[in-house]
């Protein structure tokens, strides 16, 4: 009996097929999809058999497929490994090696790569076998293309007993496809195509994303909750969990098949160069698709009805982290969160914003930093996230509660009064209470100049503090947080429509939310078009301006994954790794080589708002400062533009950039921060900071009050020989920094 479950599909070979578990005598152990051949490993009562269809239907395993054996099939060869040996047979690859403990196999042209608990190695004569492999500790995932590959390396355990993982790529690097990506801290899966690489990344406790690098046209669409990823030669497919019961197959890229199957209950997926198979629970069978030149996807009844042996889920190593870290410098002070969960702050302190029980600045005189800078006393519970406003600071704790300290004249601390905290002894520690937000746990927190916003577990938002311009989003101009009756259950959720919020961002007097569709809504101050609605009207300060009445900002069709709000300008980073900026532009801070504001008149947004030209390299992070902007690129290097009187751009002069034709793109030089790569970036009031791969930070720009943390008040970056190897690390002691 032949079952025609055929749809066109394209992808590359993958090795491990992860399945939905259901009791049945015959189960599907793995699937291997080639150019004109498909092979299925079936298991019946503990005995494994290999069945192949298509051009090479007579393929057989070089060893007996016992319960511990693993297999990898390429168009030219077939390899299998048991507990003690690896054997490959076929065109361009024939070998027999005594290797114990192989856990992973992956094939490419004339190449077989394997991983044990102790080593990662590639054998054969193909391009990947000849490539310089990365130094790794323990490879837990392998993805190979024709001439490049990527691995996920488990290189340790953090203090929360969670695995530390990173992606390392190798081989041919056209289109920068073999760059090791920046900003992927908890990789879950890696996938490789012809001219690109992609990863499934755990952004935060409740957010996963697909990130691609290499050929620019591979752009992930809006995904609600991607949980699984596979790559093709020219496109990618993900399993997207759209709700508690449905898991949809979503494909994107250069050449996506027009007749991709519409599956809404995908429990497993495996792809080959020109074919694919997915187990769909609603179909109760294996749906195979792609070209069928050799009847390689006309599967038999036994194959169709075989249930997967394992459920599609993320491995325990990829468990959801318990922290979401906010990275944001303040107006005149800076704070760092250490891996221990402790916090240190330095800079301006008149309002107690450093949390040290006095009003003395730190970092402006010798002997105040390093071990001499005390930790902020926040009690015994560890801090997992930190955000800094103009003169106040807030932290999320492991319990998902929030505490704030510093200036409180507008109620921005949220304690139902206008009393500052942290400027006198005995105000912090156990005496500093958690902010009452009605009992719901906080996912993330953002501090504006004088207001604070929280994204709660229900993916709704509450804001409190200064509200003259409607930055709280409650349809009035009334501050909240100065009265006890303002907080708790009395503090309402902001009306943003039916769609849930993915992430929130605050600026000086405005706030933005990225919704789960990847679209953006903003409210608050808008005199310079910094909200991006094509006018200068504030939003959120009058009735009927929020909810469904508040439109989405038109930023074009691409999904937004990050917003950064400066003093009067805003920037967005898209899934393609490109950025757009709008709002105030007198100093070239938008990066369009002119002084023209954007977003304050009709016809300036959407596709008319161009991407900022940074020379073609993808952006891993964007930060809008007071009147300047900086981008962290995927290479770990930094470019900055805009106002530069204090050296905040870091180019060793006071010349602003982004104002005149020819200043952007490849003509905009990298900021010289030394040989080490940056992994995160922040900007404040005329200054910038970067965290390096060693988990230490460097800062440059305006240094009044010691905000840079170098024990003096001299500006850095506005003169020659101040950057590069001469730019020192901020002395903060021996602990590594988690975020700042």
Instruction: Say which CATH number the domain at 70 has.
Output: 2.130.10.30
Q: Which residue is listed with tokens 């010798």? A: 366
Query: The domain containing residue 630 runs over which residues?
Result: 333-739
How far apart, in whole angstroms, are the C-alpha atoms of residue 18 and residue 311?
6
On average, the pLDDT of the chain sits at 88
**Letter string b/e over residues 194-222, b meaning 16 or more CB atoms within 10 A of that residue's CB:** bbbbbbbbbbbbbbbbbbbbbbbebbbeb
How far apart, in whole angstroms, are the C-alpha atoms of residue 196 and residue 229?
14
Q: In the listed set 255, 285, 313, which residue is the last one of a domain according to the structure?
A: 313
Mean pLDDT is lowest, of 59-63, 118-122, 302-306, 352-356, for 302-306
Task: Say how many Å lie between the first and final Cα of the chain, rounded.
Answer: 63
Residue at 6 is within a domain: no
Q: pLDDT tens digit string along 204-225? A: 655 788 888 888 667 788 888 8
Closest to 277 in 3D by CA, of 257, 299, 253, 295: 299
pLDDT-based confidence at residue 293 (cuts at 50, 70, 90): confident
Percent of the chain with pLDDT over 70: 92
Q: What integer pLDDT is reported at residue 204 of this predicted model?
A: 63
**Residue range 114-125: mean pLDDT, rounded:** 94
Q: What integer pLDDT is reported at residue 318 of this predicted model?
A: 36
**Residue range 498-508: mean pLDDT, rounded:** 93
**Residue range 354-375: mean pLDDT, rounded:** 96
Residue at 715 is within a domain: yes
Q: What integer pLDDT is reported at residue 315 of this predicted model?
A: 42
Taking the CA atoms of 347, 336, 656 and 561 in sequence, report the sign of the dihedral they define.
negative
Q: pLDDT tens digit string along 88-98? A: 998 889 999 99
Q: pLDDT tens digit string along 428-464? A: 999 999 999 999 999 999 999 999 999 999 999 999 9
Residue at 223 is within a domain: yes
Q: In the listed set 313, 343, 359, which residue is the last one of a domain according to the structure?
A: 313
The larger pLDDT score, comparing residue 533 to residue 286, is at 533
Look up residue 479 and give its two tokens. Answer: 């501050």
Look up residue 136 and give its two tokens. Answer: 């790794």
Q: What integer pLDDT is reported at residue 320 of this predicted model?
A: 34
Q: What integer pLDDT is reported at residue 437 of this predicted model?
A: 97
Residues 442 and 577 placed together within one structural domain of the fold: yes
Mean pLDDT is lowest, of 114-123, 177-186, 628-637, for 177-186
Residues 292 and 346 placed together within one structural domain of the fold: no
Residues 116 and 194 placed together within one structural domain of the fold: yes
**Residue range 659-684: mean pLDDT, rounded:** 95
Residues 211 and 352 placed together within one structural domain of the fold: no
- Per-residue pLDDT at 244 exceeds 80: no
Residues 338 and 308 placed together within one structural domain of the fold: no
The larger pLDDT score, comparing residue 127 to residue 1, is at 127
Residues 266 and 358 placed together within one structural domain of the fold: no
Residues 291 and 433 placed together within one structural domain of the fold: no
Closest to 227 in 3D by CA, of 166, 316, 320, 314: 314
pLDDT-based confidence at residue 702 (cuts at 50, 70, 90): very high
Residues 343 and 279 placed together within one structural domain of the fold: no
Residue at 713 is within a domain: yes
pTM of the entire predicted model: 0.63
Q: pLDDT tens digit string along 56-65? A: 888 889 998 8
Mean pLDDT is lowest, of 264-278, 526-540, 553-567, for 264-278
The larger pLDDT score, comparing residue 124 to residue 2, is at 124
pLDDT-based confidence at residue 15 (cuts at 50, 70, 90): very low
Residue at 570 is within a domain: yes
pLDDT-based confidence at residue 506 (cuts at 50, 70, 90): very high
CB count in 10 Å sphere of residue 611: 17
Residues 289 and 341 placed together within one structural domain of the fold: no
Residues 671 and 544 placed together within one structural domain of the fold: yes
Q: What integer pLDDT is reported at residue 14 of this predicted model?
A: 30
| Number of independent structural domains in the chain | 2
Residues 394 and 471 placed together within one structural domain of the fold: yes
pLDDT-based confidence at residue 339 (cuts at 50, 70, 90): confident
Residue 513 · residue 504 · CB < 8 Å: yes
**Residue range 720-725: mean pLDDT, rounded:** 96
The larger pLDDT score, comparing residue 280 to residue 533, is at 533
Look up residue 285 and give its two tokens. Answer: 């069978």
Mean pLDDT is lowest, of 128-142, 159-173, 201-215, 634-648, for 201-215
Q: What integer pLDDT is reported at residue 739 of this predicted model?
A: 85
Residue at 8 is within a domain: no
Residues 247 and 351 placed together within one structural domain of the fold: no
**DSSP for 492-520, written as a single string:** PPP---SSPEEEEEE-SSEEEEEETTS-E
Q: What integer pLDDT is reported at residue 329 of this predicted model?
A: 57
Residue at 7 is within a domain: no
Residue at 136 is within a domain: yes
Q: What integer pLDDT is reported at residue 179 of this predicted model?
A: 86
Q: In the listed set 285, 313, 341, which residue is the last one of a domain according to the structure?
A: 313
């Amino acid at each position: 009996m032949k079952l025609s479950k055929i749809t066109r599909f394209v992808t590359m070979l993958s090795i491990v097929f992860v399945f939905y578990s259901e009791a049945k005598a015959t189960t599907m152990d793995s699937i291997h999809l080639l150019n004109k051949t498909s092979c299925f490993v079936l298991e019946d009562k503990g005995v494994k058999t290999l069945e192949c269809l298509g051009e090479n239907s007579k393929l057989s395993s070089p060893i007996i497929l016992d319960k511990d054996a693993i297999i990898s099939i390429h168009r030219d060869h077939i390899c299998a490994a048991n507990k003690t040996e690896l054997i490959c047979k076929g065109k361009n690859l024939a070998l027999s090696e005594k290797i114990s403990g192989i856990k992973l196999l992956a094939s490419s042209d004339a190449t077989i790569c394997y991983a044990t608990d102790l080593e990662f190695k590639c054998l054969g004569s193909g391009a990947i076998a000849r490539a310089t492999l990365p130094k790794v500790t323990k490879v837990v995932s392998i993805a190979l293309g024709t001439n490049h590959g990527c691995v996920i390396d488990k290189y340790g355990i953090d203090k929360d007993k969670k695995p530390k993982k990173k992606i390392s790529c190798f081989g041919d690097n056209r289109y920068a496809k073999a760059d090791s990506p920046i900003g992927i801290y908890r990789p879950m899966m890696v996938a490789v195509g012809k001219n690109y690489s992609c990863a499934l990344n755990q952004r935060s406790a409740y957010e996963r994303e697909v990130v691609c690098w290499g050929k620019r046209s591979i752009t992930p669409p809006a995904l609600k909750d991607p949980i699984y990823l596979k790559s093709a030669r020219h496109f990618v497919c993900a399993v997207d969990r759209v709700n508690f019961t449905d898991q949809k197959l979503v494909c994107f890229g250069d050449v996506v098949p027009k007749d991709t199957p519409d599956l809404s209950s995908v429990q497993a997926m495996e792809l080959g160069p020109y074919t694919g198979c997915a187990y769909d629970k609603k179909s109760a069978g294996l749906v195979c698709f792609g070209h069928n030149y050799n009847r390689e996807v006309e599967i038999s009844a036994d194959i169709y009805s075989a249930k997967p042996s394992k459920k599609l889920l993320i491995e325990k190593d990829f468990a959801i982290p318990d922290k979401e870290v906010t990275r944001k410098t303040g107006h005149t002070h800076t704070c760092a969160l250490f891996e221990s969960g402790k916090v240190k702050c330095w800079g301006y302190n008149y309002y107690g914003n450093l949390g040290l029980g006095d009003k003395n600045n730190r970092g402006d005189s010798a002997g105040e930093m390093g071990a001499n800078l005390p930790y902020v006393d926040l009690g015994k519970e560890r801090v997992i996230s930190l955000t800094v406003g103009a003169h106040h600071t807030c932290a999320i704790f492991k319990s998902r509660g929030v505490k704030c300290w510093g200036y409180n004249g507008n109620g921005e601390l949220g304690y139902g009064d206008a009393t500052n905290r942290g400027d006198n002894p005995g105000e912090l520690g156990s005496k500093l209470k958690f902010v009452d937000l009605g009992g719901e746990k906080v996912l993330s927190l953002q501090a504006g100049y004088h207001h604070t916003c929280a994204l709660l577990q229900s993916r709704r938002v509450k804001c409190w503090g200064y509200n003259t311009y409607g930055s709280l989003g409650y349809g009035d101009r009334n501050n909240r947080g100065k009265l006890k009756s303002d907080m708790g259950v009395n503090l309402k959720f902001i009306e943003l429509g039916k769609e849930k919020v993915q992430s929130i961002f605050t600026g000086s007097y405005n706030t933005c939310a990225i919704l789960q569709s990847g679209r953006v809504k903003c409210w608050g101050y808008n005199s310079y078009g910094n909200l991006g609605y094509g006018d200068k009207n504030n939003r959120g300060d009058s009735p009927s301006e929020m909810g469904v009445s508040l439109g989405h900002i038109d930023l074009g069709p691409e999904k937004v994954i990050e917003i950064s709000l400066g003093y009067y300008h805003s920037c967005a980073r898209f899934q393609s790794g490109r950025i757009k900026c709008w709002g105030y532009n007198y100093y070239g801070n938008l990066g369009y080589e002119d002084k023209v504001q954007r977003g304050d008149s009709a016809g300036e947004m959407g596709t008319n708002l161009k991407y900022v030209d940074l020379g073609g390299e993808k952006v891993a992070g964007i930060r809008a400062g007071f009147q300047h902007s900086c981008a962290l690129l995927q290479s770990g290097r930094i470019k900055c533009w805009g106002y530069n009187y204090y050296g905040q751009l870091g180019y060793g002069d006071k010349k602003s950039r982004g104002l005149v034709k020819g200043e952007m793109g490849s003509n905009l030089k990298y900021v010289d921060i030394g040989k080490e790569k940056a992994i995160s970036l922040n900007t404040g009031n005329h200054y910038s900071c970067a965290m390096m791969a060693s988990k230490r930070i460097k800062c440059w720009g305006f240094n009044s009050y010691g905000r840079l943390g170098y024990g003096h008040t001299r500006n850095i970056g506005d003169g020659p020989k101040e950057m590069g190897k001469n730019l020192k690390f901020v002395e903060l002691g021996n602990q590594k920094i988690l975020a700042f």
